[in-house]
Amino acid sequence: MKSAVETLNPTRVRLSIEVPFEELKDSLDAAYKKINQQVTVKGFRKGKIPARVIDQRFGRGAVLEEAVNDALPKFYTEAVNEAEIDVLGQPEVDITELKDGETLNFTAEVDVRPSLEIPDYSGIEVEVDAVEVTDEDVEKSVEQLRERFASTSPVERAAEDGDVVTIDLQAKVEGEVLEDGVAEGVSYTIGSGELLDGIDDAVKGLSAGEEATFTSELKGGSAAGQEAEVTVKVTQVAARELPELDDEFAQLASEFDTLEELKADSRKRLENMKQYDQATQAQERVLEKLLELVEVPVPEKLLEDEINTRKHNLEHHQLGQMGLDLEKYLEIQGKTVEEFDAETKEAAVKGIKTQFVLDELVKQEKLNVNQEELTEHLMRRAASSGMSPDQFAQAVVEGGQVPLLVGEVARGKALAVVVEAATVKDTNGEIVDLDDEDEVEQAADVAAEATEADATEADATEAAEEKTEG
């Protein structure tokens, strides 16, 4: 076999491959064997029909077609390995010449990973939000904890903001009561915004036994997105009573003996959260700066596939779980189809560039992923998907997605290397030290988000669900 490579553009090549006919022998033998198993000829036992008889009865062309179909992938792969090119996606194959007994010539056009030059990135500088926890932040945190320990007691008065009401609901669309539009004994905190738009105004001022009717758009069920006439009846009004903020509350709500200790712990927790957010912000901004430094051509076919994948995951996984379709989602977001398409394309381009650049850095820096790092990443992925680690791992293995997870961790390590070399300052002008044991995992999450690696999670979840159903 002889092969030659022609570069069509930085992301696409054409392989021209010439195969001497004698190298097709194994594929021809396999073709005769396969046809032998599929046909019967009077006077010959099944599987024992001579090649010349098959040629006479079924035509030499049928045998050649079968042999070529068998041989093409093998010679294509051999040519790719010989040329040492990193192909992306499936090739477009064109048979240019097939002469029985002489030669097989064909071409294969395929996208390739572009050759990238990563410049010196040590000069990258970014600014991030300073970690500042105010007394107000602490008070808000403690107040939220206080809300969790609130008690309720029934009152003989009209409902007010903040009260917990027990209500019966009935929804009608075009005058007909919906089968799934009736609910009784629903507990609702006025002002929480957890039910229907307009319900707060409807129930405020009502006492137990009174009802009101309002119009609202249904958020779920058989008539999701439609306007409905909703009748709400209040069966009980209960006032919420918050516990006193004192040492007794601290002992009730935490492992601390005093309110001051509880507040000090809340401050520390808030600082840790803000430090985590600060690190994520630094990694995102460093990544943006890195992508600006590198010229990255994007293969058109790969971009098209990436856009379609992102749309599929949004519609069939994220929106499907929320009971929404794309049209409704865009309406809620206040976006046109054109705006959505433009944003999806922009995100897809960034995702592809991120993957190319970080993968090149992995090679440049000779970064490897060990078993411990892979396991830790897998467990984090499993937690975010709502699956057990064992269940998620099984789905990933069965779906052949282990290399994808390895790639995510490796890209996280590459980004962490760049962040470590960069200068990160906060808004107060202070140098931020991001040396943290979770830095690589955080960076892996940032890189995964940019490259839409949650597709791995979606695919694994889907695979697990299918297995459960089966």
Helix 337-364 with 326-333: angle, nearest 10 deg: 90
- Given this model, what pLDDT does residue 129 score? 95
pLDDT on residue 63 = 81
**Over the stretch 363-416, which tens digit does the pLDDT of each residue have?**
999 999 999 989 988 888 888 878 888 888 888 888 888 898 899 999 999 999
CA-to-CA distance for 151 and 144, rounded, in angstroms? 14
Tell me the average pLDDT of the chain: 88
Q: What is the mean pLDDT of residues 300-329?
A: 86
Q: State the pLDDT at residue 323.
A: 72
Indicate whether 194 pLDDT > 50: yes
Q: pLDDT tens-digit profile of 88-144?
A: 888 999 999 988 888 899 999 999 999 899 999 999 999 999 999 999 999 999 999
Residue-level pLDDT at 435: 65
Q: Kindly give the residue spans of alpha helices, DSSP state H, lying in 91-211.
A: 135-148, 199-203
User: CA-to-CA distance for 226 and 240, rounded, in angstroms?
Assistant: 33
Helix (H, G, I), strand (E, B) or coil at 15: strand
Give the residue with greater pLDDT, 339 vs 194: 339
pLDDT band at 456 (very low <50, low <70, confident <90, very high): very low
To the nearest whole percent, how much of the chain has pLDDT over 90?
Answer: 57
Q: What is the pLDDT of residues 210-231, one digit of tens each?
A: 999 999 988 777 777 788 999 9
Q: Are strands 12-20 and 103-112 parallel, antiparallel or unpaired?
A: antiparallel
The model's pLDDT over 232-279, given as tens digits with 9 standing for 90+, comes to 999 999 999 999 999 999 999 999 999 999 999 999 999 999 999 999
The residue ranking higher by pLDDT, 442 or 39, is 442
Mean pLDDT throughout 179-196?
Answer: 89
At 459 the pLDDT is: 52
> From residue 287, how far is each of 117, 308, 365, 430, 432 by CA, in Å?
16, 24, 16, 21, 17
Evaluate whether 426 touches 130 at the Cβ level (below 8 Å): yes
| Structural domains of the chain sorted by starting position, each given as residue range(s) with its CATH number in brackets | 2-112 (3.30.70.1050), 151-241 (3.10.50.40), 259-469 (1.10.3120.10)
